[in-house]
Amino acid sequence: MTEFSRFTPLVQSLPATVPFVGPETQERQVGKPFRARIGANENGFGPAPSVKDAIRAGAEDIWKYCDPENHDLRAALGAHLGVPMDRIAIGEGIDGLLGLIVRQVVLPGTPVVTSLGAYPTFNYHVAGFGGRLVTVPYRDDKEDLEGLLEAVRRENAPLVYLANPDNPMGTWHSAQSVAAFADALPEDTLLVLDEAYCETAPPDALPAIDRLADMPNVLRLRTFSKGYGLAGLRCGYAIGSLGTITSFKKVCNHFGVNRMAQIAALAAVNDQDYLRSVCERIETARRRLYRIGRDNGFEPLGSATNFVAIDCGRDGAFTSQLLNALMERGVFVRKPGVPPLDRCIRISVGPDSDLDIFEEELRNVMVDLS
């Protein structure tokens, strides 16, 4: 029997790929586990003990379907953030929410604006629905707000993506600048404001929740993967106006956020003391990564995230060589994908034991490359 031939032309035109090659794939390729897994922007400090307890207790009821309304989690988030729960939508991490947003806005050929080198999963979803990406280069290692706005106006784009703080550079714009950018957008352009790293950002990087709350063309995305340490459970949320949030119910997978993810996320929201303590550990680890970078003759970029981008002062070919050498020594890190951002390597924070390995092996690799 020949291969099935009635996939849509769009699907047939796309490459069989994923936005990232996972560390598990790379471990299989090299035939051994990584000694230090500090490349995927995971929170190596893990979730709160109270969250682990909730997961263990919740396992008894895993035979039950999850609540398709995500009621308890939305209520807890609403109380924590100070917004009505009907202004919150829950999804399978920010990645899942991005797919739902693109599905609602993008038709084949629709122009969509983003930064060149920004979060590739967004691009993946745009391609999957046939959209036409319009990219704007970074300026001084930050997403270029003026350039993004100009591209939106020029292309009459109905969708624009901005991450603040940014991935992959870890930089950020002030809350005032982000709010001004939102105000300047056409009313029929939806701003996807990815705030995955909001917990580790300085307070002046995040517009107050009520500052953008009533703008129907703004969606703020947040996650339990970073500060809360629950990347493996895939749970995130969108904050927006009532009408914009309600639209998710037309296309979402109502059982998409599994029962265990709801249980864990609810427990995480209710343990803000742990979140504060882990953010302090993240900041301590960032400072150590700054020092490690400088000790090896590199220049780290200031970071508002749970990772640090380190400028190696060379080109992408050199950083690829550096990454491959680290991988051979059991250290998993990543780098941005496009010039000139790819002159940097990107290291996630983690426990001292992981950073000990990174520090030692980076020093060894630099000796070998010199």
Contact 14, 128 (CB under 8 A): yes
Task: Return the CATH fold of 49-270.
Answer: Aspartate Aminotransferase; domain 2 (3.40.640)
Q: Using CA of residue 113, residue 118, residue 120, residue 122, what is the dihedral sign? A: negative
* Cα distance between residue 257 and residue 73, in whole Å: 11
The CATH number assigned to the domain with range 21-46+273-369 reads 3.90.1150.10
Q: In the chain, what are the domain boundaries?
A: 21-46+273-369, 49-270
Contacts of 198 (CB under 8 A, 6+ apart): 165, 206, 222, 227
Q: From edge to edge, which strands make up the β-sheet containing 307-311?
A: 299-300, 307-311, 344-348
Q: Which pLDDT score is estimated for 30?
A: 85
Q: Using CA of residue 133, residue 138, residue 143, residue 145, what is the dihedral sign? A: negative
Q: Which pLDDT score is estimated for 18?
A: 77
- Would you say how long the chain is, in residues? 370
Contact 55, 264 (CB under 8 A): yes
Block residue for tokens 């639209």 = 247
* Cα distance between residue 311 and residue 292, in whole Å: 12
Q: Tell me the CA distances in angstroms from 219 to 94, 134, 144, 162, 359, one per residue in order.
A: 11, 20, 19, 11, 39
Q: Where are the alpha helices (DSSP H) in the chain?
A: 9-13, 23-30, 49-58, 71-81, 93-105, 120-128, 145-155, 175-184, 209-212, 242-246, 259-269, 272-295, 316-328, 352-369
Q: Which pLDDT score is estimated for 3?
A: 85
Mark the ranges of the chain whose per-residue pLDDT is less than 50.
none
| CA angle 164–167–172, rounded 5-degree value | 35
Tell me the chain's radius of gyration from C-alpha atoms: 21
DSSP letters spanning 325-365: HHHHTTEE-B--SSTTGGGEEEEE---HHHHHHHHHHHHHH
